[in-house]
Structure 1
Amino acid sequence: MRLAFFQLAAYLLGSLSPGYFLVKYKARRDIREVGSGSTGATNVLRYQGWKLAIPVMLFDLFKGFLPVYLAKLWWRDERFALLGLIAAVLGHCFPFYLKFKGGKGVAT
């Protein structure tokens, strides 16, 4: 049961899309409507430049790191770390609140 909650939390963490929110706030535009249509750092770099792309990249990396770190800390088992990472990447690629259209999962 704890593993299921952990995977759900990892998915929800992964579904946070800083590229979407930063561009929406800064440029008043949906990043999914420009460039590749992705919410990831590369598309943000193309559309808004380094100032927004770097925080997006760092947050995307963190989204993949945190579930792996916590799984290794709590369970000390690589299988659980892998399941957490998969859930985070799926959340990044398919965020429920963006109609399952997110990033490509490269940095996560």
Structure 2
Amino acid sequence: MPAVARARLSLLESLRCSIFATSYNPTSLRTGAKYLRARLRGPSMLNYYPKIVKISHFNKLFPGLDLEDTDEIQRRNDLAALRARGKGAPKKAKTKEQSRRLAKKR
């Protein structure tokens, strides 16, 4: 039984690829097709982390409710305590003359 010619095999391969909608790559170059066919990770990652509903969301949706956000109140109290001890964030400069960075460069 004679061997099949290489040209016939490549023709058969290209025909098979066109029928089954796969990419014809006779030189075996890297195409990245494996990564393009892979399932996207973003949607499953979004579903993995639960949606955290905070009271501030309800206050934005329903302005008339005026619910108390205890976490926000605690955060503000902590910031006030830090500022009282001199550990808070520095005040923002309103003008270029007030900027410490500009004064250091001169």
Under a length normalisation based on structure 2, what TM-score does the superposition of the two structures give? 0.23
Under a length normalisation based on structure 1, what TM-score does the superposition of the two structures give? 0.22
Q: Which has more radius of gyration?
A: 2
